[in-house]
Amino acid sequence: MTRGVRMVMLGRQGAGKGTQCVRLSRHYVVPHISTGDMLRAAVREGTDLGLKAAELMAAGELVPDDVMIGIVEERLDSDDTTQRGYILDGFPRTVDQADALAKITSSRPLDAVIDLDVAKETVLERLAGRRVCGDCAANYSVDKPPRYGWVCDNCGGDVVQREDDTPAAIEQRLADYESKTAPLIAWYDERGLLEVVDGYGATDEVTERLLTAIDQRRS
């Protein structure tokens, strides 16, 4: 079996991170840990954490660092992650979180931190063109619409633009990402962990580039 990997995936929203994380997770046989998905699941299931997170998000506030760190620490303490590794997606977001992660992983340090690089103008265009099925959440875009009108190929639901995908909201999210992530990227670069990978091209090409970069890091 392929060796596992312990890595963090960074990149702007719309850079193709989600797709690539799923592919890398299959290749290395490690879990793809998306903190966004974990939070949404907790909210859906109504766990203590979910209730707290839902309350904060409803008030327009971010889930505080100590809560996020606690969630990640617990997840990284599971059998699958301690034995084979993980792909962390959505965490860390700040230098404080990165510092906490370094402490959590001190006995099994990260192999690599990947910055999947796609220019801001490109992701803006991609996100603005994004459309989603309101019923089954299947993804489409203005370039790849459903076969018949804006009706979902899978379930016949209405395919729409997400409310938070307006140009102004997208700009705001990207600006937030920029201001928070720039110091984080510098922090990992100083520690020799950062690998910038070009996110342009066909999905397969990008996956190949990622595998090459990660395998070099581990050798």
The one catalytic residue in 17, 23, 131, 209 is: 17
The residue among 136 and 160 lying less far from Zn ion, judged by its C-beta, is 136
Q: Give yes or no: 126 in active site.
A: no
Q: How far is the CB of 166 from Zn ion (least distance, A)?
A: 22
- Would you say 140 or 188 has its CB closer to Zn ion? 140
DSSP calls for 6-23: EEEEEE-TTSSHHHHHHH
Q: Which residues bind Zn ion (CB under 5 A)?
A: 133, 135-136, 138, 152, 154-155, 157
How many Å apart are CA 87 and CA 32, to the nearest integer? 5
Q: How far is the CB of 32 from Zn ion (least distance, A)?
A: 23
173 is catalytic: yes
Q: Verify whether residue 120 is a known catalytic residue.
A: no
Point out the catalytic residue in the list 6, 93, 126, 131. 93
Write the CB contacts of 150 (distance below 8 Å, at least 6 apart in sequence): 131, 158, 159, 160
Q: Where are the alpha helices (DSSP H) in 16-117?
A: 17-28, 35-45, 48-58, 65-75, 79-83, 95-104
Query: So which residues are the catalytic ones?
Result: 17, 93, 130, 162, 173
